[in-house]
Amino acid sequence: MTEEIRRRDAAATRQTLLTAATELFAERGYDRTTVRDIATRAGVNQALLFRYFGSKEALFVEATSDTSLRETEPSLLLAEMLEHLLTPVSSGHRDQVLTTLLRTLGTDEEAAAVRRRLTTRYMAALATLTDEPDADLRAELVLAWVFGISFMRGVSATPPFANADPDTVRELVLPAARQLLEKIADAT
């Protein structure tokens, strides 16, 4: 049994808030998520949010910073990202950070900073997959594709993607992307 009868547990409350915030930011983005929403979903008084995190922005940074960008081999990175994007979100909270960042496109500086940092890391990894001089541009174009797919699938939720088989998508995307980054490998 899990410890269910715990009350007055600061660490647990903090974690509950963080989880609720992560979910809501991914679902609605930064602007449309209110601190009251977060507290309600966490089943917690909203004042505690400020006690434990200081501000809504600080909570956002913490919710999006545990990126868990695994140390995947770059040649498999694209295939893995596609898999993450295309598997049903319901199955555990997958890498929602991408979705969160896509939903948070305002002028908000914190969000923009998080987005830029993440982008740079992925780009650097992908840029190793070609010997062409314009490796960065090629990497960014491929990354842009991932963002676009993530956008249309997770955010816009247009019909074809909703029913699309992940394998089919991968078999379409990988060869095309290989035109830009020739060292992209197939999934294992």
Partner DNA sequence: CAAGCTTGTAAGCGCCTGCTTACAAGCTAC
Partner DNA sequence: GTAGCTTGTAAGCAGGCGCTTACAAGCTTG
Q: Residue numbers of the site for a second copy (CB under 8 A)?
A: 28-29, 31-32, 102-103, 105-107, 112, 115-116, 119-120, 123, 134, 136-138, 140-141, 143-149, 151-152, 155-156, 158, 160-161, 164, 168-169, 172-173, 175-177, 179-180
Pure H helices in the chain: 10-28, 35-42, 46-53, 56-65, 74-86, 97-103, 109-127, 135-150, 159-163, 166-178
- Angle, vertex CA 147, rays to CA 157 and CA 41, nearest 5: 60
Query: Which one, 59 or 126, has the nearer CB to DNA?
Result: 59
Check residue 88 and report its DSSP letter: -
29 binds, among a second copy, DNA, none (CB under 5 to 8 A by kind): a second copy
* Between 35 and 174, CB nearer to DNA: 35
With contact defined as beta carbons under 8 Å apart, do 109 and 33 qualify?
no
Query: Using CA atoms, how far apart are residues 149 and 45, in angstroms rounded to an integer?
Result: 37
- Closest CB to a second copy among 50 and 161? 161
**Residues engaged in binding DNA (CB under 7 A):** 7-10, 13, 33-37, 44-48, 50-51, 55-57
How far apart are the C-alpha atoms of 34 and 36, rounded to whole Å? Answer: 5
Minimum Å gap between C-beta 132 and a second copy is 9
Binding-site partner at residue 34 among a second copy, DNA, none, CB < 5 to 8 Å by type: DNA
